[in-house]
């Protein structure tokens, strides 16, 4: 999965041939679907044959099936997980220099947005700006790009219905690459 995402960050996507690639889960807590243009990647430790058979049983649009309720419900049931939100997945490259606003790194892991982020991601770094936690807003989304190591990228998820957030990340230079549905243990 890491290689597929690294390629997508560089603008190299799986072939838009309508197929579904099944890869192992990157960690025990990470299972789900990333959908690109006419190609989906299911990351799971389940049998790939089960994934393909379940998708083939859906009479709807095969290009959309990996992110549609019938497959996601079956996937969640088979893995004992809960389907989280389907998010727009976007990426941005590092920007040189210091962030355009002062940021302070904090170790506080109790803020509700931080707690939520830690449920889904490893290597979460937290910054504050004028008392706010770096979670949204164009200036903050831009500032995050300055915090990366040379050659690094930052991934972001936006709920498609949260148009202000989608616009803020787009204006901050994030490129949409696909959609993602994470399956989580317990409630999202």
pLDDT in tens, 26-56: 988 889 999 999 999 999 999 999 999 999 9
Q: Using the predicted structure, report yes or no on whether residue 135 has a pLDDT greater than 70.
A: no
Question: Is 185 contained in some domain?
Answer: no
Q: Tell me which of 70, 88, 106 is where a domain ends.
A: 88
Q: Are residues 76 and 96 in the same domain?
A: no
Q: Are residues 94 and 166 in the same domain?
A: yes
Q: Using the predicted structure, report yes or no on whether residue 108 has a pLDDT greater than 80.
A: no
Q: Tell me which of 63, 88, 113 is where a domain ends.
A: 88
Q: Are residues 82 and 136 in the same domain?
A: no
SS (H, E, C) the chain: CHHHHHHHHCCCCCCCCCEEEEECCCECCEEEEEEECCEEEEECCCCHHHHHHHHHCCCCCCCCHHHCHHHHHHHHHHHCCEEEEEEEEEEEECCCCCCCCCCEEECCCCCHHHHHHHHHCCCCCEEEECCEECCCCHHHHHHHHHCCCCCCEEEEEECCCCHHHHHHHHHCCCEEEEEEEEEECCCC
**What is the domain count for the chain?**
2
- Average pLDDT of every residue of the chain: 89
Q: Using the predicted structure, report yes or no on whether residue 136 has a pLDDT greater than 70.
A: no
Q: Are residues 40 and 118 in the same domain?
A: no
Q: Using the predicted structure, report yes or no on whether residue 188 has a pLDDT greater than 60.
A: no
Q: Tell me which of 88, 111, 134 is where a domain ends.
A: 88
Q: Using the predicted structure, report yes or no on whether residue 129 has a pLDDT greater than 80.
A: no
Q: Using the predicted structure, report yes or no on whether residue 118 has a pLDDT greater than 80.
A: no
User: Domain range spanning residue 40?
Assistant: 2-88
Q: Are residues 59 and 80 in the same domain?
A: yes
């Amino acid at each position: 999965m890491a290689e597929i995402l690294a390629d997508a960050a560089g603008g190299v996507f799986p072939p838009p041939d309508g197929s579904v690639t099944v890869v192992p889960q990157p960690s025990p807590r990470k299972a789900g679907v990333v959908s690109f243009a006419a190609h989906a990647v299911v990351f799971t430790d389940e049998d790939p044959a089960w994934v393909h058979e379940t998708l083939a049983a859906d009479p709807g649009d095969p290009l959309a099936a990996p992110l549609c309720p019938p497959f996601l419900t079956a996937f969640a049931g088979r893995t004992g997980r809960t389907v989280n939100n389907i998010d727009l997945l976007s990426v941005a490259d590092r920007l040189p220099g210091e962030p355009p606003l002062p940021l302070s790194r904090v170790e506080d892991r109790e803020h509700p947005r931080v707690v939520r982020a830690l449920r889904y991601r490893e290597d979460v770094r937290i910054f504050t700006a004028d008392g706010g936690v770096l979670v949204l807003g164009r200036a903050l989304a831009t500032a995050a790009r300055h915090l990366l190591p040379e050659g690094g990228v930052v991934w972001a998820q936006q709920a498609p219905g949260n148009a202000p957030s989608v616009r803020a990340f787009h204006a901050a230079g994030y490129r949409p690459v696909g959609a993602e549905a994470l399956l989580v243990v317990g409630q999202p």
